[in-house]
Chains A and B, each alone.
Chain A
Amino acid sequence: EPEVTQTPSHQVTQMGQEVILRCVPISNHLYFYWYRQILGQKVEFLVSFYNNEISEKSEIFDDQFSVERPDGSNFTLKIRSTKLEDSAMYFCASSEILFYTEAFFGQGTRLTVV
């Protein structure tokens, strides 16, 4: 069964460093998303991406964050200067059709900022 894959599964980084989280969405999907889940809290929407541009972003997705689809298969989330409060599980998701279809989630990247 096709799946969304994310790498790495766990990343530890020092505060102030840049990190790039990588995702390979399901191949025929057109809509891509990043969510995060701080330990013990809700899953929170960060950003949605379609046709090579951001279509919606939450208030969490500030100037420190950026997304890119550099090569037609990978979908990346970059955090420029990590803060302690960026520590969370980051989930990538993709969906085939915009509305009335489910988004499939990857296994997540656990980001720990020390």
Chain B
Amino acid sequence: EDKVVQSPLSLVVHEGDTVTLNCSYEVTNFRSLLWYKQEKKAPTFLFMLTSSGIEKKSGRLSSILDKKELFSILNITATQTGDSAVYLCAVLSGGTSYGKLTFGQGTILTVHP
């Protein structure tokens, strides 16, 4: 059974802090790893990673994938209260099928002013 595990489950920081969120996975037929931010309802897409060692960056957020060790990290620098959300890691897998996302349980990030 495909498995995605995120840590920590929750994190409380102050504005300006840097945080690192972790995601490890065990799936068959790995295609890519995706990070989403879920504030109230729908997950909104952050990054998709397919190759090891190549950092993806968007503003204060960055992410990297290690396909040998089967994990990814999401970094957020200079956190703001607007970064408070649940961060979801999901792995896209699929062999002969058309790909399904297996989600981790999420990391609840709370940023205090």
Contact = CB atoms under 8 A, between A and B. Distances in A.
Interface stretch (A11-19, A71-79, A102-110): A102-110
Interface residues of A, number: 26
Interface stretch (B18-26, B58-66, B72-80, B97-105): B97-105
Given A55-B97, A99-B99, A42 B42 contact: no
B92 interface: yes
Nearest to B38: A43
A29 B42 CA distance: 18
A45 B98 contact: no
Nearest to A59: B1
B10 to A, nearest CB: 13
**Which of the four size classes fits the interface of chain B?**
20 to 34
B39 to A, nearest CB: 11
Contacts of B100: 33, 45, 48, 56, 58
A99 B43 contact: no
B92 A99 contact: yes
A100 B48 contact: yes
Contacts of A45: 100-103
A106 B38 CA distance: 12
Given A56-B94, A101-B48, A44 B42 contact: no
Contacts of B42: 91, 105-108
A43 B89 CA distance: 10
Contact of B103 (A31, A44, A108): A44
B94 A99 contact: yes
Given A42-B103, A43-B103, A103-B45, 7 more contacts: A42-B105, A45-B100, A48-B97, A58-B100, A91-B42, A98-B99, A104-B45
9 contacts: A42-B105, A50-B98, A56-B97, A91-B43, A99-B31, A100-B32, A100-B50, A102-B45, A108-B42
Interface of B: 31-32, 34, 36, 41-45, 48, 50, 88, 90, 92, 94, 97-106
